[in-house]
């Protein structure tokens, strides 16, 4: 039988399958460290094997993510460099990023339009408020395995709690408390919501942007959907889009078709990659 790992607790895994819910251990030679929440596994009396993953993250340990909600708010004001790094991570890992502007109740139209202008050609944008319970449009986007990311205090936990309801959310808070102090594994559980699952975690506040060091600077632009239409207009084959001339990217930053914030953050990202490589 095959099933989805929805929870990991010490060496016991909770598996959801067509035939019900099972709590199983891995077979002798299969290491428990090698099985993540989000994995599809083959099992009988024990977990026999893990099927090939679409992607996986290490902290918190999760596999096969489909969507990540990148939450931001007007207060605390956004760190767009962090947002752009998270978006890049998502595209590298084959995860769909969705920008969630939370705290609509305090945001103001100007702020929302500002965010829409930067990201309209990059990702889907939704606006909501955990405080007002205005989360219907967010719930509609839950499809496949989803998780929340974003800087501290933007409202990730509040949104997860609003979606899951009080009873469920409390379990999440408790599990985080148990794990505090150990910098390694945080407990993660998946909960079925509308068409998919959401991960009940503390949320990713950095989303493993560290893994970006593995990228070559010249690979970065191809993960920028907003740069893509202009990439072939770039005369230089291995252009990093740093030097004015026949660079199709810089031209379109100058004429306003590419967001200047996105472009400046792109430069910061490739420069930091180049420095780390040295």
Contact residues toward ligand GTP (CB under 6 A) are 102-103, 105-106, 129-131, 150, 152-158, 202-203, 205
What would the x/- binding string for Mg ion be over residues 153 to 192, using CB under 5 A?
----x-----------------------------------
**Minimal distance, residue 265 CB to Zn ion, in Å:** 16
Q: Are 56 and 147 in contact (CB under 8 A)?
A: no
Could you say which of ligand GTP, Mg ion, Zn ion, none residue 155 binds, taking C-beta under 5 to 8 angstroms by partner kind?
Answer: ligand GTP
Sequence-distant (≥ 6) Cβ neighbours of residue 264 within 8 angstroms: none
To ligand GTP, the closest distance from the beta carbon of 121 in angstroms equals 26
Rounded Cα gap, residues 172 and 169, in angstroms = 5
User: What secondary structure letter does DSSP report for 129?
Assistant: B
Write b or e for each residue in 98-135: b if 16 or more Cβ atoms lie within 10 A of its Cβ, otherwise e: bbbbbbbeebeeebeebbeebbebbbebbbbbbeeeeb
Indicate the residue among 153 and 243 with the shorter CB distance to ligand GTP. 153
Min dist. Cβ of residue 154 to Mg ion (A): 9
Work out how close the CB of 147 gets to ligand GTP at its nearest, in angstroms, rounded to a whole number. 13
- Cα→Cα distances 132→17, 136, 156, Å: 35, 11, 14
Q: Please tell me whether residue 266 binds Zn ion under the rule CB under 5 A.
A: no
What phi and psi, each to the nearest 5 degrees, are found at residue 177? -65, -45
Count of Cβ atoms closer than 10 Å to residue 235 Cβ? 10
* Closer of 38 and 150 to Mg ion (Cβ): 150
Specify whether the CB–CB gap between 22 and 3 falls below 8 A.
Answer: yes
Q: Tell which one of 130, 241, 252, 273 touches Zn ion (CB under 5 A).
A: 241
130 binds, among Mg ion, Zn ion, ligand GTP, none (CB under 5 to 8 A by kind): ligand GTP
Which of ligand GTP, Zn ion, Mg ion, none has residue 102 at its interface (CB below 5 to 8 Å by kind)? Answer: ligand GTP
Of Zn ion, ligand GTP, Mg ion, none, which one does residue 153 interact with (CB within 5 to 8 Å by kind)?
Answer: ligand GTP
- Compute φ and ψ for 110, nearest 5 degrees: -60, -45
| Residue 247 site contact among ligand GTP, Zn ion, Mg ion, none (CB < 5 to 8 Å, cut-off depends on kind) | Zn ion
User: Scanning residues 197 to 226, which ones bind Zn ion (CB under 5 A)?
Assistant: none
The answer to whether 241 and 250 are in contact (CB under 8 A) is yes
Q: Contact residues for Zn ion (CB under 5 A)?
A: 234, 239, 241, 247, 249
């Amino acid at each position: 039988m095959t099933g989805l790992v929805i929870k990991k607790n010490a060496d016991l895994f909770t598996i959801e399958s067509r035939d019900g819910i099972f709590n199983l251990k891995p077979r002798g030679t299969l290491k428990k460290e090698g099985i993540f929440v989000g994995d599809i596994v083959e099992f009988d009396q024990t977990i026999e094997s893990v099927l090939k993953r679409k992607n996986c993250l290490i902290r918190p340990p999760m596999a096969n993510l489909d969507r990540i909600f990148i939450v931001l708010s007007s207060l605390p004001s956004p760190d767009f460099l962090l947002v752009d790094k998270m978006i890049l991570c998502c595209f590298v890992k084959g995860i769909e990023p969705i920008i969630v502007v939370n705290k609509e109740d305090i945001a103001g139209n100007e702020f929302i339009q500002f965010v829409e202008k930067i990201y309209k050609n990059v990702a889907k944008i939704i606006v909501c408020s955990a405080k007002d319970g205005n989360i219907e449009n967010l719930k509609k986007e839950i499809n496949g395995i989803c998780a929340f990311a974003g800087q501290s205090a933007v409202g990730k936990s509040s949104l997860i709690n609003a979606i899951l309801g009080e009873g469920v959310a409390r379990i999440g808070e408790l599990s985080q408390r148990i794990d505090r102090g150990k910098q390694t594994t945080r407990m993660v559980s998946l909960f079925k919501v509308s068409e998919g699952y959401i991960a009940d975690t503390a949320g990713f506040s950095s989303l493993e942007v560290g893994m970006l060091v593995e990228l070559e600077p010249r690979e970065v632009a191809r993960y920028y959907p907003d740069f893509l239409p202009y990439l072939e207009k770039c005369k230089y084959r291995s252009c990093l889009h740093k030097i004015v001339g026949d660079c199709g990217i810089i031209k379109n930053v100058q004429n306003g078709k590419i967001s200047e914030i996105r472009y400046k953050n792109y430069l910061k990202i490739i420069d930091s990659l180049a420095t780390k490589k040295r």
